[in-house]
Structures are given as structure tokens and as C-alpha cells.
Structure 1
């Protein structure tokens, strides 16, 4: 997918949101569909919102173990919610920038 195919050029070529201010629930739903995550449930939104809040406070996404403690979800369950990966799935849907060193 090239940048021209992305909704209003809001995303980078690899599907991360360019600016967090461009993030919306609709964009997250679209990204979920494109990443084979399926319809977003209340549990997806709980993870996404927690990641967004943590990022606003610390300027980085939460370590997965912190997320597990804060949400009460297991690592396995988070991986089931975001089968394409915690960073690639959850961070992307939360509108976080691509982490440095992420391949």
C-alpha cells in the first residue's frame, strides 16, 4: 500500500498514523479491518485507550506487562486480541507513531 492509498494521507506507508491528532475511532476501525483484527470489541477499546493515555503521559507505549497489570488481561489474551502483534496491532490502532527500531 502506498501513501496515496491511505485515508486522506493520515497514515505512513506502513500503516501507522502520521499525527496522533489525526486519530479517530473510525480510523482505528479501518486499520483493524486492514490488519485482520476484526470488529473491535470493548476489550480492544480498553487496550487502545490505555495505550493512548500512557503515551500521552510518558511519550512511549506501555510495556506489555504493565498493560497486563493495568487492564487485568493476560499476555496471551492481548495477543489474541491483536494477532498481528502488540506493537504492530495495538500501538498502530491507538495512533502511536512507529517505535524506533521496529521492523
Structure 2
């Protein structure tokens, strides 16, 4: 576990940069993590993906499978990578404040 500081905010993260406590997540933290991942601005499309991921996590305790995320968002996988260059797991799930998804290397 580590503490990272982004623009004056201190966040406890695991060794891969995922929030240790997803309950502290808010939109401000999402913006901070996105900026640290090289995403200058979170668009409507970003927020749609983030909300799908968070809703799935709140209801099922885990991130949605990639296929389900694509179906529900109406985006192709390459479009999700366009929004989150680190990918749906390492990028989108981190910005959404989730713990590291199972199977994420």
C-alpha cells in the first residue's frame, strides 16, 4: 500500500495505483486519477463508462466484463481504449475508483 499525492490530495492506493477504499471515491478524485493517467478532460462518454462500472461494482461487487461494458455503453472496445488509453481495467476501473479487477495484470 502507498499514499500518493495528486494536486494536493492524498490517496491510499495499492501497488498498482488502485484505490484501497473505493468508498472514498468521488468525481473530484476521478478527475485527479484521470489527469495522472494522461486524460486531460472527462467527457460525457467517459462519465457514461465510469457510471456503468461503478453501478456494476455497487450491485455485484466487481467490475463488469469487457463485453458487457461494451454492450451497455454502446462503445466498441477500441473506443473505450480511445477514452481510457490504459484500457478498461487498468484505466477505466482506476478512474472509477474500483479496486484492481480480478485477472488484471
Q: Which runs of 4+ in 1 moved over 6 A?
A: none
Alignment gaps of 5+ in structure 2:
none
Alignment gaps of 5+ in structure 1:
none
Query: 2:68 aligned with 1:69, yes or no?
Result: no
Q: Distance in 1 between matches of 2:103 and 2:69?
A: 21
Larger helix proportion of the pair: 1
* TM-score normalised by the chain length of structure 2: 0.86
Larger strand proportion of the pair: 2
- Number of paired residues? 102
In the alignment, what sits opposite 1:78? Answer: 80
* TM-score normalised by the chain length of structure 1: 0.88
Q: How big is each residue's C-alpha offset from its partner over 1:18-71, in whole Å with a ceiling of 9 and x where there is no partner?
A: 111110111110101111122100100000011000011111111111111111
CA RMSD of aligned residues (A): 1.7
Q: How big is each residue's C-alpha offset from its partner over 1:59-90, in whole Å with a ceiling of 9 and x where there is no partner?
A: 11111111111111111111100111110000
Query: 2:43 aligned with 1:41, yes or no?
Result: yes
Structure showing greater relative contact order (alpha-carbon pairs closer than 8 Å, 6 or more residues apart) = 1
